[in-house]
Amino acid sequence: MVLRKKVGDLSFQIRISLIWSTEKEKEMYINIKLIWAFISIVIISGCVKKEQKQNDKKDMKEAAFSYMVTVSAPKEYPIEVHEGWLSNKDKKLICGMPKAGHTTGSWEYDGVEAGQGGNEIPIHLNLTYVAYAEKKFYTVDADLPSDKILEEFRKGFSLVEAPNGQNIYTDVKQGTYDTFTVGAAPGGVIVVWLSAGHHRVEICRLQAKEVFVDKNDFMGFVDKKESQQQFYDDLYKIMIKDSVRTEIDKNGIPFGLWDQYRTKYKYRFTLKPYDEKDKIVFESIRYYNGEATIYYPQDLAKIEYMTAAIPYNASISFTKYNTEIFFDDKELMKLFESFKQKYPDKPVDIVLVPAFMYNEITLYIECSGEKIKLEKAKVAKIWGG
Q: How far is CA 348 from CA 289, 290, 315, 339, 354, in A?
A: 18, 21, 19, 8, 19
* pLDDT for the residue numbered 166: 63
pTM of the prediction? 0.82
Residue type, 201: V
Check residue 70 and give left, alpha or beta (phi > 0: left; psi -120 to 50: alpha).
Answer: beta
* pLDDT for the residue numbered 168: 65
- Spell out the residues 6+ positions from residue 112 whose beta carbon is closer than 8 angstroms to its own: 70, 98, 100, 101, 103, 104, 105
3-state class (DSSP) for residue 309: coil
Find, among 283, 126, 104, the residue nearest to 190 by Cα. Answer: 126
* pLDDT for the residue numbered 231: 98
Spell out, as residue ranges, where the chain has pLDDT lower than 70.
1-63, 161-170
* pLDDT for the residue numbered 240: 98
> Cα–Cα distance between 318 and 324 in angstroms, integer?
12
* pLDDT for the residue numbered 158: 84
* pLDDT for the residue numbered 172: 74
* pLDDT for the residue numbered 234: 97
* pLDDT for the residue numbered 274: 81
* pLDDT for the residue numbered 37: 46
pLDDT in tens, 194-224: 999 999 999 999 999 999 999 999 999 999 9
Class of residue 174 by CB neighbours under 10 A (exposed 0-12, middle 13-18, buried 19+): exposed
What residues pair up with 86 in beta bridges, in sequence order? 95, 125
